[in-house]
Amino acid sequence: MTSFAADRARRTTQVDRWLAELLGAEADVALVAVGGYGRRELLPRSDLDVLLLHGGRDDIASIADRIWYPVWDSGAELDHAVRTVPQARRVARSDLKVALGLLSARHVAGDPELTERLRAGALEDWRSAAPTRLAELHASYDERARTSGELAFLLEPDLKEARGGLRDVHAIQAVAAAWVAPAPGPRVRTAYEQILDARHALHEVTGRRLDRLVLEEQDEVARALGLLDGDVLLRMLAGAARTVVYAVDHAFRQSDRLRGRRLRRRQAERRPLADGVVEQDGEVVLARAADPAGDPSLVLRAAAAAAQAGLPLAPRTLDRLTECPPLPVPWPAAARDSLLALLGAGPAAVSVWEALDTEGLVTALIPDWERVRNRPQRNPLHTYTVDRHLAEAAAHAAALTREVARPDLLLLAALLHDVGKGWPGDHSVTGEVVARDVGRRMGLPAADGELVAAAVRLHLLLPMVATRRDLDDPVTVKQVATTVRSRVLLELLHALAIADGLATGPAAWNDWKATLVADLVRRVKAVLDGEPTPQPAPLRDDQLELAAEGGPAATVIGSEVTVVAPDRPGLLWRAAGVLASHRLAVRSANATSVGDIAVSVFDVEPEFGDPPDASLVVADLRRMLQGRLDVEDRLDRRARAVRPRSANVPAPKVSLIDDASDTATVVEVRAHDAPGLLWRVGRALGECGLDVRAARVETLGAEVVDVFYVTDGDGKPLAGEDARRAIVHSVLTALGDLPLGGNGLPAQDAGTVRRPVAWVLCLRPFLTG
């Protein structure tokens, strides 16, 4: 790529020499270059920022005239001021823009000592007022980012003002000048030169002082820079801007911390977030015992913890995470769950994903990502580059996880739906192949991998048909039903269409389109039958043996916990409570019965570190069965010690499904996972006077889908509408008490009656009470 740096330096030297001639030999006067001119960055159409500094001379006006008039006459844009050193410092103290300009002050002509006094004084003022000035700087940066958007992902970016643009590097320099953060490193300096060169070329090509790189100029600017075309230019700028954004965010975190420290003045606490991952001082760092070199899943675990907590990953942590060896193929289940927990965090996931990407960690996880990385799209509908669009779509999908039976597959499909854009041809077709590969790599079960691949292939089907085909024509609906085949996939496609549309831009999704797509989905749903209800999985021989003995008994084998006891109300959720009190997260649970004996099988995993001693868990389960353990008290004490999650997750949803069972009422709970969730929901049902006869609990990444078959005190399904409303209300209240993000309020449509979903297992009656 052509560099214009020499051109800028030459222009600066010429102007310096000219101004020096205009000033001549004068005592007690100095010409000082500030702003871009001070940094020797004169572009073809830059204005000249010049300060005429004097020690209090009465005839300064005539000297000023002697300099300004020739400059004006030459047609150059002049930004000028005439001040003494104390005046200049006073103005800088009240005006942030002036203060920033003075940080790059450079002596041009006249008395060098005068300039030096100003430079030293301005720096001293800047440092002594650093906490307030940096807060001001941060606020102006946020405002700028809000109005100008992000350079890396906009198709017509403002090179100077956008987030990741030139001004951000000046901000880093300003923070560094206050001795709060290091000066920009070599990567940031290279990125800065690239953006500056693009702006330089834009001035050359248009002959105007433009900062916004509009579509029509992109090819020409690229040619001036010796690049192939506008796409190559935008890719280069996107890479540069990401580097800058990452650095400026870090600089501002340092400066915010400076403020925080003045207020707190105590040792930063370390709080555990996940195994090997802790929070310190508002950032996510590795625990002292963490071992990146021997722990390939650590990258995703740390990222998931950061996104769920709504905190950034510390730069040195990211650095250390690059030491992690690549994940084995197929991925272990824990890594997959972490990825889902990361994506499920919604908007908070986007910046964590960006941070991983900056260090090349995303392409290490998903090599196919490289082909969509920084890829611009020449399309008036799209706001973002392909990779950011995918991350945004996943973030929007996270808000829709309550609407689908498989939130995990929705998140993956959203992340991958446009991954085919890196290959020639129809991106839905190429994307299906890539998605299937990625699914295999992640170790998804084959059927799930096929669903994700199908969702990618068909992700444009619903919006296309809804807007271009006659929905009143039964053939249209039938064709879609034949293509989609299952309600699970239809739900996925509907949520994916919404997430994709929202992530594309305001022109791509609106109420008009949403209404049409929803109408189509409603019609297709009516045609599709619910899948046949699967039979309950039979118990294994060893479990049957245990049941035959009649219990009470509890065993822990690896991650599987089995509890066997005579039927009794509240058994399932009390057992779940015991597990939660040992910091064991319930990944899945199945409850069934053999005669009068209830058998509950849990698949658990430790929240942090090594699993607890199995014999302790068994001992506590036995005490619980004998009624000698107060689970409630123990968990309440623990809940108070847990850090509230700040990820903005969708509110839980509770539905009563009518036609899934003749002998019981089915309660379905979809919620964000949290410690002790099963226990709380079960207790809420118990408090309503209900017996949980059977249950199926599934944790999909960070989302939970629980199904409970309940009966009233007389062993009958619930009849009254009031009783049903009371259940929904009390379960939602129990969930609202959880340390969940969001407002915890019931969803608008909570409590609606739905058809059973595919995987609901009809389990034989459990506890009869």
Partner 1 sequence: MKLITAVIKPFKLDDVKAALQAFGVHGLTITEASGYGRQRGHTEVYRGAEYQVDLVPKVRVEILCDDEDADDLIGVVVKAAQTGRIGDGKVWSVPVETIVRVRTGERGPDAI
Q: Which residues bind partner 1 (CB under 8 A)?
A: 467-472, 510-513, 515-516, 519, 522, 526, 752-753, 755
Distance (Å, whole) CA 158 – CA 170: 15
Looking at the DSSP bridge assignments, the partners of residue 284 are 279, 313
In angstroms, give the least distance from the CB of 512 to partner 1.
4
Residue pair 289/276 in contact by the 8 Å Cβ criterion: yes
SS3 56: coil
Q: Which is nearer to partner 1, 147 or 510 (CB)?
A: 510
In angstroms, give the least distance from the CB of 721 to partner 1.
13
Amino acid present at 485 = R
Q: Which is nearer to partner 1, 133 or 494 (CB)?
A: 494
Distance (Å, whole) CA 708 – CA 756: 12
Phi and psi of 204, rounded to 5°? -60, -50
Q: Give the closest residue to 252 by CA, choosing from 130, 369, 371, 135.
A: 135
In angstroms, give the least distance from the CB of 757 to partner 1.
14
Q: Which is nearer to partner 1, 470 or 549 (CB)?
A: 470
Distance (Å, whole) CA 603 – CA 22: 83
In angstroms, give the least distance from the CB of 467 to partner 1.
5
HSE-CB of 469 using CA atoms within 13 angstroms = 18
**Token digits for 363?**
């392409």
Within 10 angstroms of residue 284's Cβ, the number of other Cβ atoms is 25
Distance (Å, whole) CA 141 – CA 256: 13
Q: Which is nearer to partner 1, 476 or 592 (CB)?
A: 476
Distance (Å, whole) CA 122 – CA 434: 56
SS3 9: helix
Q: Which is nearer to partner 1, 235 or 513 (CB)?
A: 513
Length of the chain: 769
Place of tokens 């990361």: 342
In angstroms, give the least distance from the CB of 730 to partner 1.
23
In angstroms, give the least distance from the CB of 251 to partner 1.
44
Q: Which is nearer to partner 1, 113 or 470 (CB)?
A: 470
Secondary structure element (H or E) that encloses residue 555, with its range: strand 553-557
In angstroms, give the least distance from the CB of 510 to partner 1.
7
Q: Which is nearer to partner 1, 378 or 522 (CB)?
A: 522
Q: Which is nearer to partner 1, 530 or 736 (CB)?
A: 530
Distance (Å, whole) CA 195 – CA 379: 23
Cβ-based neighbours of 656, under 8 Å, separated by 6 or more: 665, 666, 667, 668, 718, 724, 727, 728, 751, 753
In angstroms, give the least distance from the CB of 513 to partner 1.
7
Residue pair 632/561 in contact by the 8 Å Cβ criterion: no
In angstroms, give the least distance from the CB of 515 to partner 1.
5
Place of tokens 């991958």: 416
Within 10 angstroms of residue 363's Cβ, the number of other Cβ atoms is 15
Q: Which is nearer to partner 1, 446 or 526 (CB)?
A: 526
In angstroms, give the least distance from the CB of 217 to partner 1.
19
Q: Which is nearer to partner 1, 38 or 463 (CB)?
A: 463
